[in-house]
Amino acid sequence: MYRLPSSPTRTLPPLIPAIMVIDAPASAKMLIDRRRVPLSCTMNAPVEPARTRAGTIDLAIAGMTCASCAGRIEKVLSRVPGVTSASVNLATERAQVTGLAPDPAKLIAAVTKAGYGATEIQPEAPPADHTPGVRRDLFHLIGAAVLTLPLLAGMVVPAWMLPGWTQFALASVVQFWFGARFYRAGWNAARALSGNMDLLVALGTTAAWGLSTWLWLRTGHAHGLYFDSSAMLITFILAGKVLEARARRGTATALNALMRLRPVTARVRRDGVDTDVPVAALRHGDLVIVRPGERIPVDGRIREGSAAIDASMLTGESLPVDHTVGDSVAAGSIDTDGLLLIETTAIGAETMLARIVRLVEDAQASKAPVQRLADRVSAVFVPVVLAIALATLIGWLAAGATASAAILNAVSVLVIACPCALGLATPTAIMVGTGMAARRGILIRDAAALERAHAVRVVAFDKTGTLTLGKPSLVRIEPARFLADAAALQAGSEHPLAEAVRVAAGGLALPGMTDFRALAGRGVTGTVDGRSLLLGNARLMTDNGIAVDLPEAEAMAAQGQTVSFLAEPGQLLAVLGFADTVKPGARAAIGRLHALGLHTVMLTGDGEGPASAVARQTGIESVHAGILPADKAAAVSALRANGSVVAMVGDGINDAPALAAADIGIAMAGGTDVAMETAGITLMRGDLALVADAIEVSRRTTRKIWQGLFWAFAYNVLGIPLAAFGYLSPMVAGGAMALSSVSVVANALLLRRWRS
């Protein structure tokens, strides 16, 4: 028999006992099946209650047209008793109000009194259908265009000039029928001692229409009138509104797609009878039948059958994953090829899908810090524009211009000034960015996290379960011929190291085993083929008088492996080395972060050996080993001390303090409540490449925000002076105003073209 060389008994350097695994609680590690991360992470754990939003009310707001409207509604809502904060999003046309039990009726009444419409959005409500409003706007645009075209004919061919009364009639219909929306909204703003885009449009077009009417009545001539200008302004602005609405609907496609994932009905088995019932009528414990090709309506656990489940819309995982009896599944995923009987564990607001939708909604409703700049400008924008228009009128009259020229230049100032683009630049980019990220398995908690992530310079990683799979594997046994004996001895153990030995021995014929006994904290004993064997750590060997001071063991320990020994009484037979396997693609993912100019750090409770081994395999630049979970937050704070913006990547369970201490917490826990509440960003898959994706999404979204704000300011900074000095006609000003909002939204939509 081959015998390992022996030497005087000496205890090896402190090793991880064979009964222990790495640095995290066993319950946390068993929570995550790393072969199906991260969907199975959540699914294999008890379903946690949905994240509560007590004291938060969502309202759908009607009638907003620009950032001034949003700011006005925020002020009105903030004054309602019991409200602590109110955030209004122009792009989503929603308000999120928080406070101590705010009364929805009072909130709606306050918004209504301010001249806008409001309705409470119920939880789990389907996406609002804006089709009727879009059709109405399109009808108004077509009607205005049909009546305006004859007025423009005289500009092209003077002989086609319409009589004055015909011009007056056509322009009046466009002005007061199709343009009535501007008067209503403008009046509501003026009544509230505020201003908005509609007020500017109403004043500008009314001035052009009024000047034309006065000239026509005074002279009776059809020439030299400006009815075509007022009608064309209304038409241009209506066209801009239609295009803007279509573009804004495109920013919400990702969220709407998520909200439509859950089926309306489910086939449930009760008392042996299968019936179709509304999903809202399901109860915990119901048995739901899902056939091939159908969407799963509930979160649950498979009781019968097996199938490949496509959860790409929830996690971004590109390929279906095989599930069988005992595995958990999520509402909204697709059963691709098997008949399943699923026991319901979560319904409605408790499901993973509902929590994802709620998180995306909250992110899109929140405001990025940069939005404060646009809000401050919008608050004084309309009064300033009115003052500039008045100064333009007075200045041209003082310079000797005719009243017609002075009024038209003032009208141009009123029309080109558009606070819409300022209000849309930030929220539209955030909507597209967060929606696009969610489609790829990246959940961003709020706009502040999205904006902050672009400035990250250091990324700190937990090791176990983040950089590694969180489960040990047998990487070496010397000599290899004792593998079958070790696997036979471990047949009765449920320990992770025992499972690693059995997996390594797969396909080998195992001898029989009797008299199995587990020794807590040391290992196991038993009889294999009539021989009494021991398998465990150095302590078990020392207690039985077996020397373990071997070069093989020391080499394994130096490489960061957990060392166990197989022996029979008085004689060592083999040395086994275990290591936690690095996640596939980890090195490439870390390389992407380095390519983005980021510094990478590992924070782990493991010893220096295992930590350094993983760092070498993944390319991590700095290692902080031997750190207790409670001390990781202090380590993150130390990284931030030099002014670097730090992102912490962890599993969202034992890393919660460190996630909270970082500038950006990135949780890889697969959507558990702990991860969602602690981290700013949650990754729905255990794919480390998503860390770089999240930072790239933040950088691109932030770039789009600043581009949008630049163009919004540029239109006004350049356009208003040009209009004031007479270089822009009212029609050109109207076209530019409409173009400003459309271009800002269209620029944000370009984010949808991003690919990792």
Residues 319, 277 contacting (CB under 8 angstroms): no
Length of the chain: 756
Residue 223: its H or E element: none
Q: Mark 117-145 as b/e (b = at least 16 C-beta within 10 Å).
A: ebeebeeeeeeeeeeeeeeebbebbebbb
What Rg, from alpha-carbon coordinates, does the chain have? 34
Q: How far apart are the first and last CA of the chain?
A: 56
Residue tagged active-site, from 462, 655, 687, 693: 462
Q: Tell me how far apart the alpha carbons of residues 603 and 620 are, in angstroms, rounded to a whole number.
A: 11
Q: Tell me how far apart the alpha carbons of residues 719 and 389 are, in angstroms, rounded to a whole number.
A: 13
* CA dihedral (545, 546, 548, 550) positive or negative: positive
Residues 659, 641 contacting (CB under 8 angstroms): no
The separation between CA 576 and the C-alpha centre of its own chain, rounded to angstroms, equals 44
Residue 267 CA: distances (Å) to CA of 296, 345, 563: 10, 16, 52
Say which amino acid occupies 5: P
Q: Tell me how far apart the alpha carbons of residues 366 and 427 are, in angstroms, rounded to a whole number.
A: 9
578 token code pair: 């275990």
Residues 307, 336 contacting (CB under 8 angstroms): yes
286 token code pair: 């119901």
Residues 472, 580 contacting (CB under 8 angstroms): yes
Q: Tell me how far apart the alpha carbons of residues 79 and 268 are, in angstroms, rounded to a whole number.
A: 48
Q: Is 670 helix (H, G, I), strand (E, B) or coil?
A: coil
Cis bond upstream, residue 127 (ω within 30) = no
181 token code pair: 């929306």
Q: Is 535 helix (H, G, I), strand (E, B) or coil?
A: strand
115 φ/ψ sector (left φ>0, alpha ψ -120 to 50, else beta): left
Residues in contact with 669: Cβ distance below 8 Å, sequence separation at least 6, in sequence order: 31, 32, 38, 41, 42, 651, 652, 653, 675, 682
Q: Mark 510-547 as b/e (b = at least 16 C-beta within 10 Å).
A: beebeebebbeebbbbbbbeeeebbbbbbbbbbeeebb
Residues in contact with 302: Cβ distance below 8 Å, sequence separation at least 6, in sequence order: 323, 324, 325, 326, 327, 328, 329, 340, 341, 342, 343
Say which amino acid occupies 30: M
Q: Mark 482-496 as b/e (b = at least 16 C-beta within 10 Å).
A: bbbbbbbbbbebebb
Q: Name the one residue in this structure whose structure tokens are 């063991």.
A: 553
Residue 737 CA: distances (Å) to CA of 110, 124, 313, 719: 30, 37, 38, 9
The separation between CA 679 and the C-alpha centre of its own chain, rounded to angstroms, equals 12
The separation between CA 16 and the C-alpha centre of its own chain, rounded to angstroms, equals 39
Active site residue 485: no
Residue 534: its H or E element: strand 531-536
- Annotated catalytic residues are 462
